[in-house]
Amino acid sequence: MLSRIMFNEALNRQHHDLLTMGALVEENIRKALEALRNADQALADEVKASDTVINALQIKIDDQTARLLATQQPLARDLRELVTSLKITDNLERIGDYAVHLAKAAKRLAEEPYPRPLDRLERMALQGCAMVHDAVRAYLEQDEALARSTAALDDTIDRDHKAFVAEVLALMSENPGRARQATKLISTSNYLERLGDHVTNICEAVIFMTSGEHVELN
C-alpha cells in the first residue's frame, strides 16, 4: 500500500494532468470558434489533430486512478475524489469531441457561408469555454459554491440554443434550398448545448466529491 505522502504526490500529479486536459479542451474550443469566425480551415484541422492528445490524457489519468484505487484502497473523501476524477475526464473527453464538431462546422461554413451572423453560436461556445475553466478550477480548489454557480450558467447556453434553432428553422422555411446547411447548423448548436450539460455533470461530480451529496443541477 502506498504511504500517505506518496498518495498525495500521486494525486498532485493527477491534478496537474487533469488541469492540462482541461486547458487543452478550452484551447480547442477557442480555436474552433476562431476557425468559425475567420473561415480558417487549417485551424479547424489543428483542432481535430490535437483531440488525440486529449484522448491520450484521459487514458493516462484513468490508468493512474485505477492504480491508486487498487494500491491505496481509499475510503471516504479520497475515494470520492478518485471517482470524481474519472467522471471529469469522461466529460472533458466528450466536450473535446464537441470542439471537433464545431471545427468541422467551421470548415463547412468556409465553403458555404451562412447568410446571417452566428452570434448565438459564438456566445454558446464562449460560455461553454468559460464554464469548462471554472468547473476544473472548482475541482482543483474543492469549491462547491463555484461548481454550483458554474452549472447555473448552462441556462444561458440553453436559451441561445433555442433561439438559434428557431432562427435557422425560419430561414430554412424561407429558403428550402438551405435545408442541408440548416440541418448541419442545428446539429452544431445541439453539440454546444450538450457541452454545457457535460460541464454541469462535472460540477455535480465536484459537489459529490466535497460533500458526498448527489445533486441534479440541470
Element (H, E) at 103: helix 76-111
204-214 mean pLDDT:
95
Pull the grid cell for residue 189: 448548436
Q: What domains can you pick out in the chain, each with its CATH number?
A: 4-211 (1.20.58.220)
Q: Is the pLDDT at 2 greater than 70, yes or no?
A: no
**What are the respective helix, strand and coil percentages of the chain, to the nearest 5?**
90, 0, 10
Pull the grid cell for residue 39: 473561415
Pull the grid cell for residue 56: 491520450
Confidence of residue 116 (pLDDT cuts 50, 70, 90): confident
pLDDT score for 208: 96
Q: 218 and 183 in contact (C-beta within 8 Å)?
A: no
pTM of the full predicted structure? 0.93
* Maximum Cα–Cα distance across the chain: 68
Q: What is the mean pLDDT of the chain?
A: 93
Range in 76-90, 132-146, 194-208 with the lowest mean pLDDT: 76-90
Confidence of residue 72 (pLDDT cuts 50, 70, 90): confident
Confidence of residue 10 (pLDDT cuts 50, 70, 90): confident
pLDDT score for 215: 92
CB burial of residue 213 (10 Å; 0-12, 13-18, 19+): exposed
95: closest CA among 22, 146, 174, 1? 22
